[in-house]
Structure 1
Amino acid sequence: MIEDTETIEEFLAQHSADVEQAVREAAAKEITPRFRRLAAHEVDEKAGPHDLVTDADRLAEKYLTGVLSALLPGSVVVGEEAVHANPATYEAIRGEAPVWIVDPVDGTRQFVHGDPGFSTLVALAHHGVLLASWTFAPALDQLATAVKGQGAFLNGERLYAGPPTPGRDLEVATSHPDYTTDEEKRSLLGLWTEGVAPRACGSAGLEYLAIARGELDATAFSWEAAWDHAAGLLLVEEAGGTHLTVTGEPFRIVGGNALPFTAARDAATARRIVGLLSGTA
């Protein structure tokens, strides 16, 4: 069993490239061959027509679970599809073991419709602290990585989010209304104001990457599922951005957050979005 962060950091120094290879191989074996070639029997609904799962999701997660748990003995994997099958497995995020947080196909709806805007997300955390992340968009040939305290990179190039350009509307990717409560809808309506340009989000992982690249100013999300957020939140942090819930506290991957929350290119933007969401701006 890995017992402390220092040992995990040593693991990352030696094996980050192995994790990257595993992510690429999962995509090459199970995802890319099915892109724009999915048969009807390979697609199912989970909670409804907007919540899809495919054979690519299931098989890529199975592959990653096997490889990642073997790479780091004593670690556990929390994957979206495994949690759907057995919700109790999500509790491992709050446990003592290092945890791999996996979304095999983030943006399954886009994947099913032949849109290249999907990604595979992997993050490593311990005691609620995000330590490393990998965001891979195979159809776009983009791999973004981050290690806590060591910066964020896209295809080997350093990422800097930077502040938004003064004088233009803030572009904010927001939760789809089908996935929000009435209270959350009221909070999100605060974004429809002068100086802000909200739009529906796509793949959460790629929205976070857009913030880290300085192409998107902020997000406003109303759900907590760690597999959607873990990789991207560390990527944004390591690119110089930040994240806040409506109570002004950072988002916690272990849950219990006040929602909605934002990730943003800089602290000033995060505070402005939180003010609009909470009605205090």
Structure 2
Amino acid sequence: MLIDAVTEILRETAEIAILPRFRALAAGDVSEKTPGEVVTVADREAEDLISRRLRDLLDAPVVGEEATAADPALLSALQAAPTAWLVDPLDGTANFVAGRPEYAVMAALVRSGETVASWVVRPAEDDVYVAELGSGTWRNGIPVHRAPAPADPAHLRGAALTRFLDDATKAHVSSAAHRFTALTPGTKCAGVDYPRLLNGDQDFLLFHRTLPWDHAPGVLLLTEAGGTARHLDGTPYSPSIPKAGLLAAADEASWQTVRTLLLP
């Protein structure tokens, strides 16, 4: 079964390339990929292992975060190829480097520009989230459904990653924070924040950057569990269409409430 096979690939890769290096990175194991963003030997080794095994499982292009950093043209496979894999070998690399457990290993399968299956593995917690289009979402083999959020915005908890927002939007988000029970910057790891939204630990997430390996897995987890994720203009999210700004929420009503209160 495809779901189980990919789960095993991600878990075995974490055991080989990631967990042995957690809180054990040497000085030469970390480098700066772009200003302010780091990459480790664990990222690169994990992506190589995952990519090879996914191709053996289903022969399709692999759009991996680290391979795409070296060759941005790989992104075109999400539009041009009938089927493609997405891989984020170590989401939350900065947390991993700092010795924090908020990191994840993620993958998704994209067909005709639509995410049809996704996987989020949390090695530090030994949690596995999977989703299949039209079939639902599971955590460790147990079906998950996201309950509606409170109707009163004063009872909503959310996260807004404001680092990449323009100054005007950032100021508006900051001024609206008091309308909610809590508004945090999140964990800087989509593979942690989406599961927290799914599990009811928070009610909404706001992102500016929508890199496909960051969001395709979590969006499918959420929507298959009853949540809502759309761009800020209301259009659906697609991993094959680059578009900034994404709001994910527990349900349609809370999406509308947060969109109205949080953004200009």
TM-score of the superposition, structure 2-length normalised? 0.94
| 1:96 equivalent in alignment to 2:81 | yes
2:237 maps to what in 1?
A: 251
**Contact 2:197–2:250, Cα closer than 8 Å, also in 1:** yes
**Alignment counterpart, residue 31 of structure 2, candidates 40, 44, 54:** 44
In 2, are the aligned partners of 1:201 and 1:207 still within 8 Å (CA)? yes
* 1:205-216 alignment, distance < 5 Å: 205-216=191-202
Instruction: State the Cα deviation string for residues 53-80 of structure 1 (Å, max 9, x = none).
Output: 100000000101100011112x111111
8 Å contact kept, 1:191–1:273: no
Work out which of the residue numbers 21, 40, 44 in structure 2 matches 1:58: 44
Matched, 1:162 2:147: yes
Aligned length, in residue pairs: 262
Separation of aligned partners in 1, 2:207 and 2:178: 17
Give the superposition deviation at 1:183.
Answer: 4.7
CA contact (8 A) 1:224 1:255 kept: no
Partner of 2:102: 117
Unaligned 5+ segments in structure 2 are none
CA distance in 2, matches of 1:135, 1:147: 12
Q: Taking every aligned residue pair, what percent have the same amino acid on both sides?
A: 35
Residues 163-215 of structure 1: CA deviation (Å, up to 9, x unaligned):
124555311111142x3333542453464242352111211111111111122
Mapped contact 1:160–1:239 kept (Cα < 8 A): yes
Alignment match, 1:9: none
Which residue number in structure 1 is paired with residue 132 of structure 2?
147
Residues 244, 274 of structure 1: 8 Å contact kept? no
- Aligned equivalent of 1:219: 205
User: Is residue 22 from structure 1 mapped to residue 9 from structure 2 by the alignment?
Assistant: yes
Opposite residue 222 of structure 1, the aligned amino acid is: H
Shift of the alpha carbon at 1:235?
Answer: 0.2
Q: 1:173 maps to which residue?
A: 159
**In the alignment, does 2:18 pair up with 1:31?**
yes
For the structure 1 residues 81 and 256, does the alpha-carbon distance in structure 2 shift closer, same or farther, using more than 3 Å as the test? closer
Report the Cα offset of residue 277 of structure 1. Answer: 4.3
Question: Do the aligned partners of 2:31 and 2:39 also contact (CA within 8 Å) in 1?
Answer: yes
Cα pair 1:184 1:260 within 8 Å, conserved: no
Q: Distance in 2 between matches of 1:56 and 1:234?
A: 26
- Find the partner of 1:82 among 67, 70, 75: 67
Match of 1:261 in 2: 246
* Secondary structure class of the residue paired with 1:140: coil
Residues 220 and 39 (structure 1), Cα distance of their counterparts in 2 relative to 1, 3 Å cut: same
Task: Answer with 60-69 or 204-213: which moved more.
Answer: 204-213
Given that 1:61 and 1:102 are in contact with CA atoms closer than 8 Å, whether structure 2 keeps it comes out as yes
- Matched AA of 1:94: Q
Q: Aligned pair in 2 of structure 1 residues 190, 254: CA closer, same or farther (>3 Å)?
A: farther
Residue 127 (1) aligns with residue 127 (2): no
* Aligned alpha-carbon RMSD (Å): 1.6
Alpha-carbon separation, structure 2, partners of 1:115 and 1:269:
30
Partner of residue 215, structure 2: 229
In the TM superposition, what whole-angstrom CA distance separates every residue of 1:34-92 from its partner, at most 9, and x where no partner exists?
0010001000112223x11100000000101100011112x111111011111111111
Counterpart-to-counterpart distance in 1, 2:237 and 2:262: 15
**Contact 1:244–1:271 under 8 Å retained in 2:** no
| Mapped partners of 2:70, 2:169: distance in 1 | 27
Q: Residue type matched to 2:4 in 1?
A: A
